Amino acid sequence: MRSFYKSVLEEEDRRNEAIIEATKSVATVDSDKIKNVDNGEENALLTKAEKINKEVGYQKVQINDSGELVDDRQLLSAGLNVVKKRPVDNTKSTNSGRSISISDTKKPATYRKDRRRETELIERQLLAQEKRKRQEIESSKERIISQVKSRKTDDSISQARERYLARKKANQNTTD
């Protein structure tokens, strides 16, 4: 899998280098010169663009309206597909003097309520989990203490054995 990604990246690098070479080799043409350009120069640009596109494998380089050789990144960065955002203040003041962030005003009230409910639910779950852990620890401590208390020592076991043997001997003497 690693070799596949490596080959993809190398191929992309080769395409990028070919495009950079093509854009460096072609000088930009002024709009006045475009009017005086004959078909020979246009054909040369077209052949260069076709050659680069064949090397790359897709329509990467084009000739724009002003007769310049450009790649698709230049077209996109020129603002054809980019929407400018209007600068906006981060806070708005209300009549109460309290400032509200823009993110709060854009979000619907239901979203904020849902978000608040979810955070409260998570907090309750965490508290319940901590409580369960504490109860488990306490119950395990109580169990250990009761086991220690109920544990029979060797002395108590030997004394119980002696009493048993004495009763057994007494029963044998009465039956004899």
Most confident of 2-16, 46-60, 96-110: 2-16
Helix segments in the chain, DSSP class H: 2-25, 31-36, 39-56, 72-75, 102-106, 109-150, 154-175
134-156 pLDDT, tens digit each: 999 999 999 988 887 777 677 78
Q: What is the reported pLDDT for 99?
A: 58
Q: What is the reported pLDDT for 27?
A: 47
Q: What is the reported pLDDT for 107?
A: 64
Q: Which tokens go with 161? A: 């054995």
Contact 23/77 with Cβ under 8 angstroms?
no
Report pTM: 0.28
Contact 125/111 with Cβ under 8 angstroms?
no
Whether residue 11 is predicted with pLDDT greater than 80 in this model: the reply is yes
Torsion of CA 73, 46, 59, 27, to 10 degrees: -20
Contact 90/84 with Cβ under 8 angstroms?
no
Indicate the domain borders of the chain: 7-80, 106-171
Mean pLDDT, to the nearest integer, of 61-70?
A: 73
Whether residue 122 is predicted with pLDDT greater than 50 in this model: the reply is yes
Q: What is the reported pLDDT for 142?
A: 92
For residue 75, the tally of other CB atoms under 10 A from its CB is 13
